[in-house]
Each structure stands twice: as structure tokens, then as C-alpha cells.
Structure 1
Amino acid sequence: MSESRHVLVTGANRGIGLEFTRQLLARGDRVVAACRQPGKATDLNHLAGEHPGRLHVLPLDATAPKTHAELARELPLVLGEDGRLDLLINNAGVLHSGEAFGRVDAANLDHSFRTNAAGPFLLTQTLAPLLADGARVMNLSSRLGSIALTTRFGTPTYAISKAALNMATVLLAQALADRGIVVIAVSPGWVRTEMGGEGAEVAPGDAAAGLLRQIDSVSSEDSGRFIDWQGEAVDW
């Protein structure tokens, strides 16, 4: 991929999404950082002030296809008429904590699915005309979405939705293959973010840097794969 890219990061206001944004800007990329409430994204807006013209903060609700369409209309104004996205990072996600068998809430399951699986799938579909041929799409999945690695009952709505995201990744890889667009699912590991908690194993900076290294190195043969932040294959 070229040294300077047009990149869209969803869920960019905190955690790994914010770290992706910082590191991409440091590399010289032009970044569109999307989140639900840009006016409250203090860190993002501070970065935008430090990188005028290279960071644009735009609204997006992963669960609301209407906002996907609005973002698609806004992007050409930001990227320029000839601009195309070289990298789409579907990072926005949600984890409902404290779930136990017998008390799993239907609303939580619906919200998790719409945010973690339907959101990335529908957004990628909407933005497909704006993706450059040969672009990359990285879907932030999780080892908790691996059916083969499941050994206990835990985080059910998150796990179910991430397993669905893995299937969405494979389907998108097939749909976009004729344009040379590579779509992969990645596991960032257990990361010290608001979602992962203070006891998590991986620093956000390390996870983001590792995942960016992986997306830089993938080829068309890798499309549809599920890998971790260090490049190791994750069982489905």
C-alpha cells in the first residue's frame, strides 16, 4: 500500500480506535475519524487541531444505516472528488458486561448484533463504491467470537455478534475480491481499554501498532482470514 493513505476509523473517540487514529496520523496518513458524538470527542478534536486538514471528525452510529449513508455523502467532500478510501477500519463495538445464562437480555443481544456485526457489514457495503481498488478492510473481531476456542459460557451477546462478524468478513471478502479489496477479521487481544479493563494484557498502543503491521502485510491470498495482532491465525 502507498505510504500516505486515506483511512476511515470507526469508534475512533476512545480505546484502540483513538490509538489507531494517533498512529495513522503519525505515519502521515489522512484520517476520517468517525464516532457517535463528535462534539464530545475531546481527544479527537484536540488531534484535529494538531493535524489541520489531515484529520476530519465525522458522526457515525454503527447501528443506524441512515448515518452510514450520510457519511458516504460527506466523504467525497473530505477526500476530494477523486479521493478513495485505502483502508477502512471497522472498530466500533460494544460489550454488555454482567451477563449470565437465564438472564441474557434480548435487547442486549439485538444491540450487540447491530453494533458488532450488522454495523460493519452494512457500512462496508455502503462505502464499497468509495473504496479504492486494492483497498483493505479490517474488522475488529475477538477470540471470544471463535466457536472452536469457546470453553465456557461468557459474554454471550458479544461472542455471538463477533462470530457473526467473522462470517460477514468472509462474505465481504468474496463480494469484493474482483476489485482486489482484502477483507480480514482481526483479534486485538485482551486490551487495556474501557471495554477490556485495567487488568488486560495488551496496551492499546501495542495492539494498534501490531494490527497496522498486519494490514500492511496482507495480500489478496489473505482475504477472508481471521488473525491476531501478531499475525497468527485464529481458529474459527
Structure 2
Amino acid sequence: MPDRTESDRHCLVTGANRGLGLEFVRQLLVRGERVVAACRQPGRATALNMLAGEHPGRLHVLPLDVTTARSRDELVRELPLVLDGARIGLLVNNAGVLHGGERFGQVAEADLETSLRTNATGPFLLTQAVAALLADGADRPGAVVANLSSEIGSLARRHEFRTPSYAIGKAAQNMGSVLLARALAPRGIRVVALHPGWVRTDMGGAQATLSAAEAVTALLQVIEGLGADDSGVFLDRQGQALPW
């Protein structure tokens, strides 16, 4: 991962208490990174806190509910104390929500609103809030903002009515990724939307084809392989472009 093993950079992962978020934290720590792991209830994040004990000084766990302004603002206040003058080299916007079993005619307004707040609005506003702490690109690559998206958010690939609140939320998140890429381009910061595949997590279910470890390994390779101009793109875990 270019330049993120430098001692003056951290990784920030949201939704880090389980699933893909927890696996990102694990693998980044193995690579020698310093990580800030954010989740809604750190006190209940047993696996995450065990990792913090195993990696003293390299993993900090902070509270974050990405859907609320107060929680985002509190994280922004806490981050400089944890970063101690460092910058964020990788932001993984992983926190998300999926409502299963939705049927046309019975889709709830509350589920649509929750999906938009969690999957689209929250990551966009969090990135905006921490933008000043992201590493600029000058003589070396700038920060990468990796938004965990889904091919379900691809308009071109929707051929059936399925998980509408999640699909709408991820489609909106994809637009947010493109806009953030444009806003942060002058600073050499790249923003990408990444589809991890069908992963065995609480969200993906036990029948999914990929383990969290397989998915994260592939996604980190995609992030490592990003070129200077690879921003505002929608990629799968092989690094192949997906249609919007």
C-alpha cells in the first residue's frame, strides 16, 4: 500500500466492530499500519477490543454513529488527539445497513430513510468532516477514500426488484463517491467505490461465496494498485470497472 506504512499516517475504518470492517482492521494491523477503528458501541465490540489489546499503540477504538451529526462532530474532535499530528492515509467508509425481505407495495419509508442516512449521507458527510485530516498528495500519493459500495447500487445492472432501500442507498453513495472525487482531486486525494462481492457476514448471510478475509485481501490489493488518476471510479474486487 503506497506510503501508508509511513509513521505519519493512519487508517480510519468505520463499522469496524464486525464483518468487513473488523477484517479491514485485522489485515491493516498485520501490514504494520496504525488504525483508528470506529463503531457505534465500542464497549460491546469484543473482538475489536481484543485486537486493541494485542496491538497497543497501533489501534485506537472510537465511538461513531455515522448517521448523526453529533457523533461525527465528536469523532472529528477526538481524531487529532489520536493522530498526534499525523494524517489519515486511508479512510474506509464501511458502515452500512441492509433491510431484507422487502416487497413492492410494502417498502417502508423509515427503511429508505435509514438506508440513505447510513449508506450514503453518513459516509459523504463524514468524509467532508475529516477532509482536513486527510493526507495531501504532493511528492507522494495522497489519501485514498474507499467507499464500500455494492453492485446492487448499479443502475445498469438492476434487472429485478430486490432490496430497494439498500439499492437506492448504494446508488446514492456512488454519486457521493463521484462528487467527493471531484472535490478532493486538487489535493491529490483519490475516492473510489468498491464492490466486495457476496461476502459471508451478518449482512451477506451464511450462503455467500466469499469469506471476509478473501474479500478484504482482494480489496486492499485493488487499493494498492490505484494509479494517480484512479479516482471517481466504481470497481469490483478484481479491480474491474463496474457500470454505474
Mark yes or no: TM-score above 0.5: yes
In structure 2, the residue matched to 1:103 is: 106
Q: Distance in 1 between matches of 2:109 and 2:36?
A: 33
TM (norm. structure 2) is 0.95
Q: Distance in 1 between matches of 2:130 and 2:72?
A: 8
Q: Distance in 2 between matches of 1:65 and 1:149?
A: 33
Q: Identity, % of aligned pairs?
A: 63
Q: Distance in 2 between matches of 1:153 and 1:34?
A: 33
Alignment pair present for 1:144 and 2:152: yes
Q: Distance in 1 between matches of 2:177 and 2:69?
A: 18
Deviating above 2 A after TM superposition, structure 1's stretches of 4 or more consecutive aligned residues are none
Q: Distance in 2 between matches of 1:221 and 1:3?
A: 18
In structure 2, the residue matched to 1:86 is: 89
**Aligned-partner SS, 1:132:** coil
Unaligned runs of 5+ in 1: none
In structure 2, the residue matched to 1:183 is: 191
Q: Identify which of 157, 163, 175 aligns with 2:165.
A: 157
1:118–1:165 contact (8 Å) kept in structure 2: yes
Which letter does structure 2 place at the counterpart of 1:201?
Answer: T
1:214-233 counterparts in 2 under 5 A?
A: 214-233=222-241
Alignment pair present for 1:19 and 2:23: yes
**Aligned-partner SS, 1:53:** coil
Q: Following TM superposition, by how much is the alpha carbon of 1:220 offset from its aligned partner in structure 2, in angstroms?
A: 2.9
**Aligned-partner SS, 1:87:** strand
In structure 1, the residue matched to 2:132 is: 129
Q: Deviations over 1:92-111 (max 9, x none)?
A: 00000110000000000000
Which letter does structure 1 place at the counterpart of 2:86?
Answer: G
1:170–1:225 contact (8 Å) kept in structure 2: yes
TM (norm. structure 1) is 0.98
2:4–2:89 contact (8 Å) kept in structure 1: no
Alignment size in residue pairs: 235
Unaligned runs of 5+ in 2: 137-141
Q: Following TM superposition, by how much is the alpha carbon of 1:229 offset from its aligned partner in structure 2, in angstroms?
A: 1.0
Q: Deviations over 1:67-121 (max 9, x none)?
A: 11111111111110x2110000000000001100000000000000000000100
Q: Deviations over 1:17-73 (max 9, x none)?
A: 000000000000000000000000000000000000000000000111211111111
Q: Distance in 2 between matches of 1:228 and 1:145?
A: 12
**Aligned-partner SS, 1:61:** coil
Which letter does structure 2 place at the counterpart of 1:123?
Answer: L
Q: Distance in 2 between matches of 1:118 and 1:107?
A: 15
